[in-house]
Structure 1
Amino acid sequence: MSAVPDLNTAPTLDDFESLFVNNRDLDNVRAHLSKFNPIKTMRMARMEIRHSAILAWLLNPQETHGLGDKFLKAFISEALRGHPTAMHPSALQVSQADMMDTEVRREWRHIDILLLSPANKWIFVIENKFDSGQHTNQLARYLKLVQSSFSKDDFSHIRGIFLSLWDEDPDDDRYAPINYGSICEILEQQAVSGRHPLTAEVETFVKHYLEIIREATGMSEEQKELEKLARQLYRDHRRVLDFVIEHGKATDFSFACDSVFGEGLEHGNIVEVDNERFVFNNCDASSISFLPQSWHKALGGGKLYWNGCENWAMGFPITMWISLTVDADGTSGKIRLMSEVGPASDHEFRHDLINGIQNATKTNSRLRIKFQAGAADEGRKYSKIFKKNFFNVEDVQDQERIAELIKKALKDFRPEIDAIADILPKFASYGKFGKSGE
């Protein structure tokens, strides 16, 4: 009987070879992961807004999918079937209607999908919840908004449809529930069964989308087998996999930082972004820290010691970083360029530094520099410098857009960076030579 490996020790070369060299199970996982799916490739698989866009395309009878109003009617009637309400239309009425005139609106007044069929005088309000939860009174507000926006003479019946990944009950019982598993069944019946001939391109895309839904809803048998295989691989090679996860993890933000600042950076490296140089400090999953080289030089180029800051940032009394924060919807977020005066123990120096930076706005009122009230008071340790310093990003998994916004942040705030660089040399005398600061 072989000895149980000690999970607290680093894996050996033999451990790595056992997992990565000629491992049939790992090859099977690789083969599955390497299967091309454009939705996965574009990192849209878990993005609610992208699912709404695809569904809006499928629901639009005038679109290029070739299904006419077949998917539209099948989707609505499946949602309404058996829904205990006296409201009209019913599932049977929808299934027998001609809905080719339906207009599809995306994100109209924040409603995910709005369907209008003037010929039938019907409106359907679709709220799509793929990963996110319901907001207080959200569903009722949408119905009220639609009722106040469209004439009863033009649209006599308004129905709500609540689409969720699982069997979640809507907060408002005027909404008929339907889940993504039902969409999977409808697409299999309407689009890939051969009942309605589609172009090769449309059929391929629908199959890719079906793969995404099956995996998300647990309906994929292949996914279930791979999950079993993954669990076995983890049991057999836990020490190696834990080590890889701990030391090799990366995010879309960190990849974007690599594209802007360069890969494999070490503390103290000089990097150049759009003709501006920065001294790199550190990068993790959601932030990257650095100093403009002009600040670094103005404060002694690393030769001076700043009491109180020895264990903070780069050891300087001021720092800068860029971070990515994710909004409540899990999809959008903000890129923020941050700068801060740190915990210098010399209160007179810290007070004068903050006031000196703030005074830069007296000669240029357009500078986005503003400390909070009391930032220079004794006992305060951390005081942020910039205002209006965030940039909205629609998709926090969009590496290219994140990289663009990082560059934009650095470019837009160059006047503030230059203004502070002009001020800092006045404070170099507060620094001390030597590691002890004595």
Structure 2
Amino acid sequence: MKHHINFLNDLDSLYQKLFHDSNNHQSLDAKLARAQVICESARQHCMRMADENIRNLKKIDPNNPMLGKVAMLESFGLSRKETAHTAFLSWVFNPRCHHGFNDNLAKALLRNFIQVDIDDEFSVDTSISEYYLSDECRIDVWVSGKHNGSNWLLIIEAKIDAKQNSEQLTKYSNHLRVKDEFEHVIKVFLTPNTNELIKCDEHWHHISFYSLYCILWKEARKHNEAEGLILLKHYLHGVLKNVLNWNLPISSNPKNPYNIIKSLQIIEGE
């Protein structure tokens, strides 16, 4: 959000200077031409920053999904298949699976939604894809565990091409009310972007696949010896390429330098 606000502030300052400065008596065409020059100069600056960041990325994080060439789900014709994405996520969140991340990726996601300290006392016990609460209510990803003797639950509802439906989220919330064994229930709605928020009578955390990429890769980089690191890299490359429609692998003179700069700043923790 910080980057969006900075950009909007800069754009507003440019607008005020060109169009509301009483000392600026230029014609409209002259003002627009000046704005074009300023915007092009800013873009060229971002291009140089992106090129520098790409060179640094290749040195310090050569496994980054932005540098990859293989999209795992694309290889099976499943690049935008929601159940394929949620099946993979349930696998990397399951500490009993042999990917080498233990429960660290699930904890990394949870830290974005809850206030309690997620430490060694916070355990992940179960991670399931397509969990049926009833014949008509299927949860895409169901992750549960314990913390200091209390039970918690994380559910994820994912949409890529399917229509977003607030009634569906409400239905899931109603079914979950009977699951009184969970003291904490975290509900996550995962979509390609969060520009169009839908209304629901229950609180859902709405995140994008882009945010998911940043969260998971930032944590995964700490586990270079994990057997599943290469699979996660190929999965996240497919998220960027096929879900978010990025032009990958990234190279010098990228079409969209802003996304590259923003992604690297988030992953590096700036």
Kindly tell me the number of residue pairs found equivalent between the two proteins: 177
- Paired residue secondary structure (1:100): strand
Q: Which residue of 2 aligns with 1:95?
A: 118
Displacement after TM superposition at 1:183 (Å):
1.5
Q: Which residue of 2 aligns with 1:165?
A: 192
Identity across matched positions, percent: 24
- Given that 1:125 and 1:142 are in contact with CA atoms closer than 8 Å, whether structure 2 keeps it comes out as no
What is the 5 A alignment of 1:269-280?
A: none
Residue type of the partner of 1:62? R
Residue 224 of structure 2 corresponds to 197
Q: Deviations over 1:305-359 (max 9, x none)?
A: xxxxxxxxxxxxxxxxxxxxxxxxxxxxxxxxxxxxxxxxxxxxxxxxxxxxxxx
Deviation at 1:227, TM superposition (A): 9.8
Equivalent position to 1:174, from 181, 188, 203: 203
**C-alpha distance in structure 1 between counterparts of 2:140 and 2:109, whole Å:** 15
Cα distance change of structure 1 residues 170 and 46 upon mapping to structure 2, 3 Å threshold: same
Provide the residue aligned with 2:78 in structure 1.
44
Matched, 1:107 2:130: yes
Match of 1:74 in 2: 108
Please give the alpha-carbon distance, in whole angstroms, between the structure 2 residues aligned to 1:101 and 1:227. Answer: 40
Hey, what's the Cα distance between the residues in 2 that align with 1:218 and 1:225?
A: 18
Q: 1:218 to 1:99 in 2, by over 3 A?
A: farther
Q: 2:217 aligns with which of 163, 181, 188?
A: 188
Determine the C-alpha separation between the residues in 2 that align with 1:94 and 1:162: 23
Q: 2-side partners of 1:212 and 1:93: how far apart?
A: 32
Q: Which residue of the partner structure matches residue 237 of structure 2?
A: 211
1:37-436 equivalences in 2 (<5 Å): 37-78=71-112, 80=113, 91-93=114-116, 95-96=118-119, 98-109=121-132, 110-118=138-146, 119-148=149-178, 150=179, 152=180, 154-167=181-194, 168-172=196-200, 173-191=202-220, 193=221, 195-199=222-226, 201-215=227-241, 216-220=243-247, 222=249
Provide the rounded CA distance (Å) in 2 between the counterparts of 1:139 and 1:51.
19
Q: What does the per-residue CA deviation read over 1:240-259, in whole Å, with 9 as the maximum and x for residues that have no partner?
A: xxxxxxxxxxxxxxxxxxxx
**Distance in 2 between residues matched to 1:212 and 1:133, nearest whole Å:** 21
User: Which one-letter code corresponds to 2:205 in the other structure?
Assistant: A
Letter in 1 for 2:199: D
Q: After superposition, what is the alpha-carbon deviation per residue over 1:82-127, rounded to whole angstroms, capped at 9, x for unaligned?
A: xxxxxxxxx2315346333431222122111122224431122211
More helix by share: 2
Q: What is the one-letter code of the residue matched to 1:120?
A: S
Q: 1:117 to 1:124 in 2, by over 3 A?
A: same
| Alignment RMSD (CA, Å) | 2.7
The structure showing larger relative contact order (alpha-carbon pairs under 8 Å, at least 6 residues apart) is: 2
Structure 2 Cα separation of the partners of residues 48 and 94 of structure 1: 31
User: How many Å separate the matches in 2 of 1:198 and 1:133?
Assistant: 39
Supply the AA of the counterpart residue of 2:232: V
Distance 1:226 1:53 in 2: 35
CA distance in 2 between counterparts of 1:145 and 1:94 reads 28
In structure 1, C-alpha distance between the alignment counterparts of 2:208 and 2:117, rounded to whole Å: 19
C-alpha deviation, 1:128, in angstroms? 0.9
Q: TM-score, normalised by structure 2?
A: 0.58
Provide TM-score, normalisation by structure 1. Answer: 0.37
Q: Distance in 1 between matches of 2:103 and 2:151?
A: 16
Counterpart in 2 of 1:254?
A: none
Q: Using the alignment, how far apart are the partners of 1:124 and 1:187 within structure 2? A: 16
2:48 alignment partner in structure 1: none
